[in-house]
């Protein structure tokens, strides 16, 4: 059970982190976004052996969800990208670069994954690749594509 939670947590954290960071980095408009994440998970042999065979396959199926990116999300991430410490954030951005519509960053979490992201934003859409490594030796590689659906629901 712990191994499933570890892999699922790494994949979800990777997707969520990249979504919010990329949103602010390039002035993505607030709104409701459809996000599709295709994940490849590599687990250490002992963790992989403890999973039912279908569990890893399910984790690697495309995941589609909607996420409301708000002005306050963008403001918080803007502060983090500017190097200000956010008391609500456990993780620290150790590197970041924004050039035109291209963004890349590395984020380190004390008890979670180290995440590297590289992607682009084009108006109301973004896409990129993400690589995360957990302290337990699992790796998550993800391709992320998102587009704005409209305003967030009230």
Over residues 94-144, the pLDDT tens digits come to 787 878 888 888 888 777 788 898 998 887 988 999 999 888 888 999 999
pLDDT band at 28 (very low <50, low <70, confident <90, very high): confident
d(CA 65, CA 32): 10
Mean pLDDT of the chain: 78
- DSSP secondary structure code for residue 112 in this structure: S
Give the pTM.
0.71
CB 32 within 8 A of CB 150: yes
**Every domain of the chain and the residues it spans:** 2-150
d(CA 121, CA 132): 20
CB 41 within 8 A of CB 139: yes
| Per-residue model confidence (pLDDT) at position 12 | 47
CB 73 within 8 A of CB 23: yes
């Amino acid at each position: 059970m712990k191994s499933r939670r570890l892999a699922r947590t790494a994949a979800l954290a990777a997707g969520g982190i990249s979504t919010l960071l990329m949103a602010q980095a390039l002035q993505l408009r607030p709104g409701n976004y459809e996000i599709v994440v295709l994940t490849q998970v590599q687990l250490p042999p002992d963790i992989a052996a403890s999973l039912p065979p279908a569990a890893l396959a399910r984790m690697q199926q495309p995941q589609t969800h909607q996420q409301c990116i708000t002005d306050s999300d963008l403001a918080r991430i803007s502060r983090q990208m500017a190097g200000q410490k956010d008391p609500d954030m456990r993780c620290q951005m150790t590197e970041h670069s924004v050039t035109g519509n291209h963004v890349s960053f590395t984020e380190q979490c004390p008890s979670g994954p180290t995440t590297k992201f590289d992607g682009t934003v084009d108006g109301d859409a973004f896409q990129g690749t993400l690589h995360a490594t957990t302290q337990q030796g699992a790796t998550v590689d993800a391709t992320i594509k998102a587009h704005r659906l409209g305003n967030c629901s009230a």
